Structure 1
Amino acid sequence: MLTFQVETHVHDLCSLPTELIIKLLDELDFRSLLLCRQVCRFFQTIIDEDAALQYKIELAVAGMEDGPPSARSPAERLAKLKARQAAWNSLQPSSQKTIPMLRGEVWELYGGVLAQARGPQSLAFRQLPSDIRGIEEKEWMIEDVGIAIRDFGMDPAQDLLVVIETPLGRIVNTHLLELSTGRRHPIASKSVLSYRPAGSHSFAIQISGDFLGVFFISGDESESELLIWNWKTGDRELCVYSCDGAEVASFAFLSDRHVLIVGVNLPDAPLEDQQQPGLVLFVIDFLKTPADTQDIKDVDFLCTFHYPTLSPLATPLAMTVRSDPAPSWKPHHDLLVPFYTSREDRLIVVTLWVADRLVVRSLLLLVPSSILLSRVNSLAPGEFKRHFPWEEWGPQVLV
């Protein structure tokens, strides 16, 4: 009876005008389209011959999202997407260009823009071109940002330039400027975010939507500190420091409210049977964590992702995490790109350096952000301090 009803419904659908069937199919996601394609040859032919439906499927296969509306038709976007995939599969770029790097100057590459300091107060920018996605090369300079540049970060999608001023005393000033002009950013309610760290530091800067994270990396015996601000309002969302064996090594934004921290001997790490410090990825909901300065050991973190125990002969030296683009990032609307990296298909890149006898080796782990977020989202309401061993999230074979 069920089979008869399904066949009857399919027959009724097939009797509709093809244009209406395409409109109905266009409302489905790519998984539903693939299922519909298996229903009958009629649906298979419609889906295979319609450029817009094929484009939706190929976007998912490539881990891409559709770009903003433009004059490009679905057929043109599909052709460009296939050209991009072919270039990546063969590692054959459509064009090549050598860009000289300045020695001894700070630089940043983010969102398709390469920026380099040219002297103590000048920055040079180059928008990297893309033949396939129709991005033209563009160069511009900010001759004088008005301060001595110690470090900087940027987000071209928000026309945001974050410049850390070379400290003259103990106060570190972070300036929020326009990437295009160097003037004060009009959306920021405060043009300068100030903080007084415990000692001398170098910096790591990450931007994710409304949030700016600055990691103060200790250069002496003082603790390292991580601060997260809402750069638009100037409000501080998180401030944690590490000391007494709980070392914060690096951070990246995991979602619009979660920050991922990597480190050694982080709080509540089960170390009883290990012959080495615990290596973990540590998740905090920074929108629910008090903004007062806290020792990392006292933070109510959501969960930790643990690395496997290394060989007794291997000594961990350093660990970093990076994820570009940010969780909700998409290109500036003026670029009108046909597609861009899907926000659900970002990669979290964790690099671990270890000393194996007298040889220093690096272990690179590429983790789809969806794997970590699925574990975070599996937590019960109000649950925190959950530990995920390697077997519950990591690959079973390390290459």
Structure 2
Amino acid sequence: MSDNSLQYSIELRAAGAVNNSSPACILSVVDRLRLLREREQAWGCLHFAESTRIPVTYQPPSSCIYDLSGGVLVLGEPGLLWGENPAVRALRLTEALKAGVGHDSRRGISPVEPYWSRVTAEPDVYIIDFGLAAQGHDLIALATYKPQALQPTEGMAAIRLHILQLSTGQHHPIASQPVMYVLDTSSLPEASLACVQIVGDLLGILLIFDFAAHPDEFALYNWKS
């Protein structure tokens, strides 16, 4: 084994990478070693060859809920009051960037609005968090609260999970229940914290309440059965 081959093998293992053994790759060991070192140097100083800014065109452009997972950027669409998100907006970054949307120093600004999709649960409910499994299941789970005006206790609200297909915004076709009841609470959304996570077939929601009268809750569901 030559010195370059040995050095390449050592640095390949240190970088946690694998050699491209495809016959279509005609790069020499020297070139592969050079490219590997350039990649590691770029990661070491977080230097990226290109960057793109994606404008958020809908108003108001700020929300406390967001996620970037599986090539999809999802932002909450705030309502009039803090914590009231009537919808979320989703942008599939791979499709949008291939179409040349966004802003960079060479092209200027390209329109991005047609690539944002709007996902809602139902009228008169507010989204407090969501979970995302875009690649594996085309799934978004919206945690919502809905004020219950007819409840005897003033300020009661129902918290539910809406299991939706991200690409269509409709109920997910393989979900056992399109809407899952979680609990009723008297907490206002700004006085609580919700966190939704999806791992495979499991969907979990953690609710932390900012008052002693209501204990924190964690619920785990199999969203397919």
The TM-score with structure 2 as length reference comes to 0.61
**Number of the residue aligned with 2:87:** 122
**Number of the residue aligned with 1:155:** 133
Letter in 1 for 2:196: I
Letter in 2 for 1:214: I
| CA shift for structure 1 position 197 | 5.3
* Correspondence for 1:141 among 116, 119, 133: 116
| CA shift for structure 1 position 113 | 2.3
Runs of 5+ unmatched residues, structure 2: 79-84, 102-111, 149-156
**Structure 2 residue 167 is the aligned partner of structure 1 residue 192:** no
C-alpha offsets along residues 280-330 of structure 1, whole Å, 9 cap, x if unaligned?
xxxxxxxxxxxxxxxxxxxxxxxxxxxxxxxxxxxxxxxxxxxxxxxxxxx
Conserved in 1, the CA contact under 8 Å of 2:121 and 2:142? no
- The 1:71/1:188 distance shift into structure 2, 3 A limit, reads farther
- The 1:73/1:180 distance shift into structure 2, 3 A limit, reads farther
**Structure 2 residue 48 is the aligned partner of structure 1 residue 93:** yes
**Structure 2 residue 219 is the aligned partner of structure 1 residue 227:** yes
- The 1:128/1:218 distance shift into structure 2, 3 A limit, reads same
Q: Hey, what's the Cα distance between the residues in 2 that align with 1:152 and 1:113?
A: 13
For the aligned residue pairs, the C-alpha RMSD in angstroms reads 3.9
Matches within 5 A, 1:235-254: none
**Number of the residue aligned with 2:196:** 205
Letter in 1 for 2:72: V
**Number of the residue aligned with 2:108:** none
Q: Hey, what's the Cα distance between the residues in 1 that align with 2:164 and 2:18?
A: 29
Matches within 5 A, 1:1-399: 44-45=1-2, 48=5, 58=12, 61-63=14-16, 73=25, 84-100=39-55, 102-104=61-63, 106-119=65-78, 120-128=85-93, 136=98, 140-147=115-122, 148=125, 149-158=127-136, 159-169=138-148, 170-196=157-183, 199-200=186-187, 201-221=192-212, 222-233=214-225
| CA shift for structure 1 position 155 | 1.7
**Secondary structure, counterpart of 1:185 in structure 2:** coil
Runs of 5+ unmatched residues, structure 1: 1-43, 130-134, 234-399
Give the count of matched residue pairs: 177
**Secondary structure, counterpart of 1:183 in structure 2:** coil
Conserved in 2, the CA contact under 8 Å of 1:199 and 1:220? no
Conserved in 2, the CA contact under 8 Å of 1:113 and 1:128? yes
Q: Hey, what's the Cα distance between the residues in 2 that align with 1:74 and 1:231?
A: 47
Letter in 1 for 2:219: L
Q: Hey, what's the Cα distance between the residues in 1 that align with 2:16 and 2:175?
A: 33
- The 1:205/1:146 distance shift into structure 2, 3 A limit, reads closer
**Secondary structure, counterpart of 1:171 in structure 2:** strand
Conserved in 1, the CA contact under 8 Å of 2:63 and 2:75? no
Question: Identity across aligned pairs (percent)?
Answer: 26
**Number of the residue aligned with 1:291:** none
